[in-house]
Amino acid sequence: MHAINNKKSSVDYMILTLLVALVIISVIAIYSGSGQYTNSDPYYFARRQLMWYIVSFGIMIAVARFDYELLEKWAIYLYIFGVMLLLYVKFFGVTTKGSQRWIDLKFMDFQPSEVMKIFIVLYLAAVLKKYGTEKLSFKKSIPVVLKTMVITLIPFYLILKQPDLGSALLIAVTALGILFISNTNYKMILLILFMMVAGSSLLFYLFNYHQELVSPYLESHQMGRINSWLNPSEYTLNYSYQVKNALVGIGSGQFTGAGFNQGYQVQTGRVPEAHTDFVFAVIGEEFGFVGSSIVILLYFLLIYRILSIALKANNVFGSYICVGVIILIAFQVFQNIGMTISLMPVTGIALPFISYGGSALITNMIALGLVQSINRETKEYMFSSTQYE
């Protein structure tokens, strides 16, 4: 087979176009949602977010120009480095609002759990690639699953104890997603799914009828958030306050919204953290169903583009990375929007590329840089559709 000599750009133009659209939405929503905190400088958060976008765009382009295949050998060292950062946070990290998640870098607070999301995708992709592309038997799938569990449980536990339930769940879901699309036997996948459903049902039962068996393992605010999700009417003055007002705002937005900077719930401060975790409430109230649909469509197109790159990749390592990035983005979108409209418990997961914050934005841009590196290194073969040669 002969590779077609087509020199690809370091930046995928469809991804770039979608990112520009998300930048515009992000800056507008953050400016409007942060008004309750910026009486002296109304542009403070929007300006800082734009600065982080400029920095992260540079990082994304640098990663896109890098040969991602070299990361296969480095993946284990990056994973170990990520675990060491999490251990550092456990003993020396900065504590804010009851959570010890950050490292003080003087110019910014760095959150190691963010980069750990990338490191675990890379390491799992490298590990699972070694098992080839042929479907494994049930027996041979057992060590694959056990190895994946060990790799995932270490950062999962360290992040959960910060406490950061949202990021811990994101890492677990990402690991499961990569495992499911690997060559693991389908019977093993069905067994894992059955155990997940059974475990979720048991937890639901315990939370409703025997909370004393669960509460010792969770922080008080985590119990409050889960209880307010299960019984929102009983916690409207504390844990459900944010979600209740976000729902009122989104509902009042109707089809076209109240207009830029005109959302009553957001502008009067009834939706705390409207520029970070609850930025979708700003979009829903001020731009209505139309604005919300445009945001979801942009995410759909972004995921579709990453999926198309995954399917064309010549290297299964690259395909696994793309799938990991898809799950990272999709779960964050689902969880964030879900908690805003009370379909999911509040976990503090940001809306990717839109919520205010430097660490999360840089991590997501690194992920897209990896995807674009995979696209750049993919060679198209004449007279063949064979992959992974």
- Can you give the residue ranges of every domain in the chain? 13-377
User: In angstroms, rounded to a whole number, what is the distance separating the alpha carbons of residues 239 and 304?
Assistant: 36
Q: What integer pLDDT is reported at residue 39 of this predicted model? A: 66
Pairing of the two strands 94-96 and 99-104 = antiparallel
- pLDDT, average across residues 295-312: 96
- pLDDT, average across residues 103-117: 85
Cis peptide before 216 (omega within 30 of 0): no
- Where is average pLDDT lowest: 30-44, 82-96, 169-183, 375-389? 375-389
CB 107 within 8 A of CB 172: no
- Where is average pLDDT lowest: 120-124, 269-273, 340-344, 376-380? 376-380
What is this structure's pTM?
A: 0.90
| % pLDDT > 90, the chain | 61
- pLDDT, average across residues 91-111: 81
Q: What are phi and psi of 382, to 5 degrees?
A: -75, 135
User: In angstroms, rounded to a whole number, what is the distance separating the alpha carbons of residues 286 and 266?
Assistant: 9
- pLDDT, average across residues 169-191: 93
Confidence of residue 242 (pLDDT cuts 50, 70, 90): confident
Q: Does 383 have pLDDT greater than 60? A: no
Q: What integer pLDDT is reported at residue 77 of this predicted model? A: 96
User: What confidence tens digit (pLDDT) does each residue in 22-58 have?
Assistant: 999 999 999 998 876 666 778 889 999 999 999 999 9
Say which residue, 8 or 265, is predicted with more confidence.
Answer: 265
What CA–CA distances, in Å, run from 182 to 103, 133, 145, 195?
Answer: 35, 8, 11, 19
Packing angle, helices 316-340 and 241-253, rounded to 10: 90
User: In angstroms, rounded to a whole number, what is the distance separating the alpha carbons of residues 366 and 363?
Assistant: 5
In the chain, % helix, strand, coil (3-state, to 5) comes to 70, 5, 30
CB 158 within 8 A of CB 91: no
Packing angle, helices 112-129 and 138-160, rounded to 10: 170
Rounded to a whole number of angstroms, the distance between the first and last alpha carbons of the chain is 10
Confidence of residue 384 (pLDDT cuts 50, 70, 90): very low
Confidence of residue 354 (pLDDT cuts 50, 70, 90): very high
Q: Does 307 have pLDDT greater than 90? A: yes
Place of tokens 């890492």: 171
Instruction: State the chain's mean pLDDT as an integer.
Output: 88
Q: What integer pLDDT is reported at residue 386 of this predicted model? A: 47
Confidence of residue 229 (pLDDT cuts 50, 70, 90): confident
Q: Does 5 have pLDDT greater than 50? A: no
